[in-house]
Amino acid sequence: MATGAMNAWIADFPWRLTQWPKLTMASKAVPVTPGKGTCLLCPADSQLGPLQEYAREVLLDDRRYLLLELPGPAVRGPETKVLHIGGEQPVRLEFEPESTFQWRQGPETVLEPGHAQYDGFIDEALARMQEVEEFTAARCKRSASGHVWWPVLLNDFMGYRDTDEAGRGLIVGIAEKMPLYLRDIVAGPKRVLKRFREPSRLDRIQELDVHCLLDYAQRPGRSASEKAGQKQRLLAVIRRESFDTLENRVTLDFCRRSRQAVRSYKEQNAKFAAFDPEKQTGSKRLAKVLNYGKYCESYLGDSVWDGVSALAEPCRTPNYALAQNPLYVEVWREYLKLLRYANLREAVWRWPRLAWADIVRAFVGDGIRAAMRETGSIRLAKRPLRNGRAIECGTWYREGGCEGDWLVRRDRAALGCLYLIERSEIRRFSATPYLELANADFYICWLPAGTKQAFYLPIWAMVGDLRWKDPAHADRERNEWAHDLENSLRVLQDRLTADVRLAGGAIIRPDWMSGRPGQTRAALKIDDQGPLPIWFIETHACGNWGDQVGIIGEIVEGLVSHAARN
Amino acid sequence: MLLGIDANGRSLRWLEPDRGRKGTRYAIAGVPPLFPDEQFIWNNPSAADPTFPDGLIPLEEAWARLSYLEPRGIPRRIPLKWRYRGADAESTLNPAEAIANAIRQNTPIGHAGEMVAVAIPNHLDETGQDDLISAFQALGIFNVRLLWRPIALAMSWASRNPDRAKALVDSGGSLWVMDLESYGLELTELKWRLHSREPNYACPVRSYPRRNDFDPDWASRHWAAKIAGDVCGQSGRSTSLLWGPAGADFQRFLEGERHGPLVFQDKEDPRRWSLGEPVHFQLHQDVVALADAMGRLVPGMQPHDRILVHGWPAAHIGEHLARQLHRRIDVAGKYAVAEGAALYAQRDVKTRPTYYDTLPQYAIWVSRRDKNNQLNFLWKALNDESVVDAGEKWVLSSRTEPDLIRLREDTLRLPQYVDKFSLLVQNKTVYDADTLNNHEASVILAKRLVVDLPTMTTAQTPLRLEMVLRPASGHARFSISARDDQPLFLDRYSVDLSWKTAQDEPEHKGYLEAREVVGRIMDRPGNRELARLLARRVRGEIFGPEVMHRFQILMDEYRPGHIDVDAVPVTSLLARVLTPWGHVANPAMTQPTRGLWGSRRQFNDPELDEIAEDMGEALLHMGGGGDWYKWLNQMFVYTPRAFIDQLRDELSPGQGTGHIHTWNLIIAPGRVFDNPDDFQNFIRFSLECGFTGPDNTYTQHYWWSFFRCLCYHKATAKVAPELVYQYLEVLCEFIEQHDLPPNTFNDQRRKYALHALLFALRLRDNDKNLEFMPLNDPLVSKYNHLFDAGRLSDERFPPSMLAGMGNMVQPGDNFSKYVRRFLNFEDTLADREMGAGLATS
């Protein structure tokens, strides 16, 4: 039941859009969970308020509609529990409390204890995308046209095989870089001379101010020695060095934030052991971070900081020392990263599914590339990477960038063309009505040679919620999703023209809820015998995919053979 | 580091002689950006979306657009059109910028510290050269020199075959450079000479290219397209093979190198690609036709001349061509152009001689009196076609060429018959060649620079001329200044014409341009003060003796002849200031008539706007019946908005003519309506009342107002052509039905009918690609018939048009013949210059 004047419908899973026009009307009873990709559909002339820019247009029955993927709860403000969408009479949607996480407000803005795994997933995804951003920026400077290509990213960056089991994160980079700088700062922090008034011995007095003179005049006695009394001391101005400067306050804040980040990292990676030099086992990355945590603890306990006051709020403007001093400038740089990281985490917190879709984009691209290499296919296009300047709606990529297009050949004969298309491109790529109802993040498109038919395999990135911690629940849910997806695809298939066929679907999830990586990464093919096979893949965000990308090759192979059969 | 670059054709090659490095990029094409804040990708055609048909811009196409020669031989730069894929917007790309970007992204040009020589087609004109240099400079590359491709080929050839070059010097023979890699076949004859500064160095002499050295039908690109068509078959899109992801492999295939798979796009579904099978191709069947074309292009090949062929087809057709032409030919290597460019850079850096270039001959449009005091116009050559050292700036001035310049300057006098000064300079070498080839109407006659001058000259001012030229650098500047170092006009000391920015003047146009009149208020500051005082006077203010004295002085300075400003009524003052005067008031004066205000609006002049507002307000509230219209319309474009609104209301179609009680109302639109909408309404109104409302005496005023709208205001030409055509039809019928006597004081209908016809032809200058009244139009025949029948003939020139320059009129000529020449596209440059005198107020 609609609560406002605006007509709006809810698709609680992205693929449920295929049910149109039988979607449920938006109401507060509909649970909105950030990891499920719940979407709101409304007429094109609707006013969605601040979320308007995140909506995209879809054509249904030759009419234009706006499709908005609903964000998760905000970390502060009125949208922590309820979402108001629309203009004068907005639709009011309540977040489902059981499936969401609690965000603890504070300088470090972390999740409540107990959600460390999900926290770790966000850290990993963010760290990965930040590394991609840095890699792209460095390569752009070297590129004549100022672009970096997807194959370059996958070859030179994603192709790197990471043997360390512990997750990545901003704190890892800080732990590698900062101990030496902090050591030098603690050894000789910048100080200033501050004036204090203290009773001083007569022979040590150098400076008196008005206050001291008043005190001097009020004392009994005629001479200075009489006024100095028995202890022979008078109130005088003395100068004493102080460490309470902005740069030291920032350094102190940096150490505190680092300590908090190390604690979170430790909690997220509790299942791994730190590197043991004697046994030569364990995670070096974790050991490094833990060591850095110890440094921070010891620095924070140093008496140097005793007189340094804490910052009431994060410092945003550097002073001269923070901007120019070779030691403090490094602290300032990393401090800003930590602050920015907190903002990024808030964005990803609201849009976790779209942030995960960025990782899935690389995962699928890497898999297709590996499969195409094996078959000796011809690359038709080399797409440039299109990073935005800031994270927007949880995503870093601007539209139009996916790993390239291929002419697949076997035995020197062309079999057909294979494309990886993202959601914003699908309408331009295929003018087939209703195809965009699949509302998938990516589509693998196979155009076999010698026929006019086109085969599509949509791929969804999904995150899920805390209930997945229970393996039995996860299994149950996984099967429910798969069957629901299959039903949705059947509905969609009936609407498509005869020359456009669906060849199944795939859901790719992060494995943050599971234990050690490698053990639970799953690639399930559900409903193998049916006409629409559903793939369910679990992987992780850090990019160390190894042979797991071979599953994408299997999907492609399945797509090609499905096309050959049909 | 020195660098030679050959960026033409399908292969971009660069050569760095110091380090012995070289490189090639094949089939360079630009990938349009997705969004406006991104740049083109020029170094990776596979970055394009393979599903997007024709989504690439070939570098070859950019060269073709930059150096495009129309079939009639006119150079023209056509922007490249493309659209963003991510953002719904279209844009255009300057071809020169495209080329500069492509070179920057594909060569180490950004690291070349010393000098870069970029080879350019032999037919690239000065504007194209200038564009290219500007585009490089915009990318921060300032050390670029341009070099003609045939010269680069010749220098490379001479460095490898010094004996053959010397033999050509001895025999006086030529090297015919046949460049197939340019936009079309460029066939260049190069004579050889020992350089005066280095007697052992045989260097080529480049003569100024004639248009007929060029044949767009023969170029390697045509062969490449044909072979690509064969590879793709019926169902494939050959451009996708030429410029798509396999473009480089296809070029390697053409050049006989190892190549990868040739993939091409399906014609019907751009998403589907196929594998092409390399075909065995032969080009020798085209050699006979090519030899014929060469024979046509260069009839005068001597037995001891040599031929140098460049381009990938040369390897396939070389032997056959030699047999066909009965002479041996040399085939240039793949890197010959880049090598020649690098050689040029090497020599130029060391200030050693490189090659000789030929300066074209330039001419300037001047007037001269003959012995009968008849004023004639003619093109006076400024220099002779001469051979000069390449790359050097060549200055023609009284300092460098005192004797030559003295002869030229003798004829240079500032024309005094117009208050618009036009500087016209002609590239005589090109023009002569074009007219020889019967290019007729589309030939560019000259470059014109129109200078809007606030004041007129009253004497024949002797002028000084200076021209600065530098071949292959896009540099051609002409400057005219007063010989006595006095300012030409106000604070303007010289008039400078740059070949790049000046407008093209076609040989014939068949219409007169609009000429905005600059009001006298712009002549000097005193006139502004006078206008302020006059406005106060109109309001009825009574001046004290000091102000009145000042007013008297200003009035006397403003206009010759004394009146007592204190004694005469305000209307007399207005008549003296606002009403145009000049030749009409005093035939001895050599100036055309102008009033205080003009049809030219001066932007960013708040003082003027304030005066106009002040005077407009005063006049609006003055009252006075017919005079009210008279004074306000003489404020031209500065007239108050309320007055324009009232005119619009009173002269709207459907209003009738009952309310019109003064002819000043009818003539007001001529000065005031400066936009097409108002003008259109006025035409409709005129047609509705048949030029006769409220009575027959108003007819001439309708015509006057009609032609003045087109004469004074540039924007009025955007009126609907069919409406003006209808106006001319009605006018023609009117003349057929009424007997119009020759011009008298009371009946000036014939005179203004001719004016209306003359200025209506302005619609021929439209950018909608519609032909307005072409020569075969029945209305043109009808008007010709009216002239033949004597209904419009024998009208004398309006005295104010000639403004004391009666000797400009050829004996036997008259205004009727003058208008008829325009009607029939027979007008000359002198006619158009004379037409400027009609822009009087």
Q: Could you report the per-residue pLDDT of A309-355, keeping only the tens digit for each? A: 889 888 989 999 999 999 999 999 999 999 888 888 888 888 889 99
- The answer to whether A405 contacts B51, with C-beta atoms less than 8 Å apart, is yes
Q: What is the 3-state secondary structure (H, E, C) of B623-646?
A: CCCHHHHHHHHCCHHHCCHHHHHH
In whole angstroms, give the CA distance from residue B200 to residue B688: 83
Select the residue from B241, B273, B274, B277 to test the A interface by mutation, using most A Cβ atoms within 10 A. Answer: B273
Restricting to B residues 501-540, those with a Cβ less than 8 Å away from any Cβ of A are none
**What is the least distance, in Å, from the CA of A56 to any CA of chain B?**
13
Restricting to B residues 273-302, those with a Cβ less than 8 Å away from any Cβ of A are 273-275
- The answer to whether A380 contacts B273, with C-beta atoms less than 8 Å apart, is yes
Pairing of strands A534-539, A505-510: parallel
In whole angstroms, give the CA distance from residue B469 to residue B474: 8
Cβ–Cβ < 8 Å for B772, B764? yes
Helix (H, G, I), strand (E, B) or coil at B2: strand
- Helices B220-232 and B247-254 pack at an angle, to 10 degrees, of 110
List pLDDT tens digits, range B241-283.
Answer: 998 889 999 999 999 899 999 999 999 888 999 999 888 888 8
In whole angstroms, give the CA distance from residue B415 to residue B421: 7
**What is the least distance, in Å, from the CA of B180 to any CA of chain A?**
29
- Nearest by CB to B271, from A145, A399, A417: name it: A417
Centre a 10 Å sphere on the Cβ of residue B704 and count the other Cβ atoms it contains.
22
Centre a 10 Å sphere on the Cβ of residue B278 and count the other Cβ atoms it contains.
15
List pLDDT tens digits, range B28-64.
Answer: 999 888 877 788 888 887 778 777 666 788 998 899 8
B514: its two tokens: 């609009």
Cβ–Cβ < 8 Å for A500, A432? yes
Count of CB contacts below 8 A, A vs B?
80
Sign (positive or negative) of CA dihedral A456, A462, A467, A470: positive
- The answer to whether B106 contacts A144, with C-beta atoms less than 8 Å apart, is yes
- The answer to whether B275 contacts A413, with C-beta atoms less than 8 Å apart, is yes
pLDDT at B416: 46
In whole angstroms, give the CA distance from residue A230 to residue B195: 107
In whole angstroms, give the CA distance from residue A471 to residue A513: 9
Phi and psi torsions of A240, nearest 5°? -140, 145
HSE-up of residue A252 (Cα within 13 Å, Cβ side): 23
Taking contacts as CB-CB distances below 8 angstroms, the residues of chain A near B40 are 145
- The answer to whether A381 contacts B261, with C-beta atoms less than 8 Å apart, is no
Q: What is the 3-state secondary structure (H, E, C) of A159-186?
A: CCCCCCCCCCCHHHHHHHHHHHHHHHHH
Taking contacts as CB-CB distances below 8 angstroms, the residues of chain B near A407 are 263, 273-275
Taking contacts as CB-CB distances below 8 angstroms, the residues of chain A near B103 are none
Cβ–Cβ < 8 Å for B412, B400? no
- The answer to whether A378 contacts B272, with C-beta atoms less than 8 Å apart, is no
**By the CB < 8 Å criterion, does B43 face chain A?**
yes
For chain A, report the end-to-end CA distance as a whole number of angstroms.
42
Taking contacts as CB-CB distances below 8 angstroms, the residues of chain A near B245 are 378-381
What is the residue-level pLDDT of chain A in tens, covering all 566 positions? 334 457 889 898 999 999 888 888 887 666 677 678 889 999 998 888 888 888 988 988 888 999 999 888 877 777 877 888 877 777 888 777 655 556 555 544 445 555 677 777 888 888 888 888 888 888 888 888 888 889 888 887 776 666 777 877 889 999 999 999 999 999 989 989 988 899 999 888 989 999 999 999 999 998 999 999 988 999 999 988 889 999 999 999 999 999 988 988 888 788 888 898 888 888 899 999 999 999 999 988 888 888 898 898 889 899 999 999 999 999 999 999 998 888 888 888 888 899 999 999 999 999 999 999 888 899 998 888 887 777 888 888 876 678 879 999 888 789 999 999 998 888 888 888 899 999 999 999 999 998 999 999 999 999 877 666 677 777 888 888 888 999 999 999 999 999 999 999 999 988 776 654 444 445 566 655 567 888 888 887 776 677 778 888 889 988 888 888 87
**What is the least distance, in Å, from the CA of A417 to any CA of chain B?**
6
In sequence order, the β-bridge partners of residue B498 are B477
Long-range contacts formed by A302-310: CB under 8 A, 24+ apart = A302/A186, A304/A186, A304/A189, A304/A243, A305/A243, A305/A248, A305/A252, A307/A242, A307/A243, A307/A244, A308/A243, A308/A244, A308/A248, A308/A249, A308/A252, A309/A244, A309/A249, A310/A249, A310/A252, A310/A253
- The answer to whether A417 contacts B273, with C-beta atoms less than 8 Å apart, is yes
In whole angstroms, give the CA distance from residue B363 to residue B95: 30
**Site of tokens 């009825």:** B540
Would you give the distance in Å from CA B91 to the centre of its chain? 23
**By the CB < 8 Å criterion, does B111 face chain A?**
no
Q: Minimal CA–CA distance to B17: which of B391, B357, B350, B356?
A: B350
Burial letters B590-602, b for 16+ CB under 10 A, else e = bbbbbbbbbbbbb
What single-letter amino acid sits at B227? I
Burial letters A190-204, b for 16+ CB under 10 A, else e = beeeeeeeebbeeee
Residue of A nearest to B276 (CA): A414
Residue of B nearest to A430 (CA): B271
- Nearest by CB to A384, from B47, B50, B106: name it: B47
pLDDT at A3: 42
List pLDDT tens digits, range A113-125.
Answer: 556 777 778 888 8
Centre a 10 Å sphere on the Cβ of residue A71 and count the other Cβ atoms it contains.
23
Cβ–Cβ < 8 Å for A556, A444? yes
Phi and psi torsions of B278, nearest 5°? -60, 135
HSE-up of residue B266 (Cα within 13 Å, Cβ side): 17
Q: Which residues of chain B have pLDDT under 50?
A: 415-419, 439, 441, 456
**By the CB < 8 Å criterion, does B636 face chain A?**
no
Select the residue from A139, A417, A445, A500 to test the B interface by mutation, using most B Cβ atoms within 10 A. Answer: A417
Q: What is the DSSP letter of B556?
A: H
Residue of A nearest to B43 (CA): A145
- The answer to whether A386 contacts B51, with C-beta atoms less than 8 Å apart, is no
- Nearest by CB to B46, from A379, A412, A414: name it: A379
In whole angstroms, give the CA distance from residue A389 to residue A137: 10
**What is the least distance, in Å, from the CA of B353 to any CA of chain A?**
34
B237: its two tokens: 């899109």
**What is the least distance, in Å, from the CA of B236 to any CA of chain A?**
13
**What is the least distance, in Å, from the CA of B397 to any CA of chain A?**
45
Instruction: Kindly tell me the burial class for residue B545, based on how many C-beta atoms sit within 10 Å of its own C-beta (0-12, 13-18, 19 or more).
Output: exposed
What single-letter amino acid sits at B76? R
HSE-up of residue A48 (Cα within 13 Å, Cβ side): 22
pLDDT at A346: 83
Residue of A nearest to B34 (CA): A400
Sign (positive or negative) of CA dihedral B185, B191, B195, B201: positive
Cβ–Cβ < 8 Å for B240, B54? no
- The answer to whether B41 contacts A399, with C-beta atoms less than 8 Å apart, is no
pLDDT at B254: 93
Taking contacts as CB-CB distances below 8 angstroms, the residues of chain A near B260 are 378
**What is the least distance, in Å, from the CA of B43 to any CA of chain A?**
7
- The answer to whether A378 contacts B261, with C-beta atoms less than 8 Å apart, is yes
pLDDT at B418: 43
Q: Minimal CA–CA distance to A83: which of A22, A8, A23?
A: A8
**What is the least distance, in Å, from the CA of A2 to any CA of chain B?**
34
Taking contacts as CB-CB distances below 8 angstroms, the residues of chain A near B50 are 380-381, 405
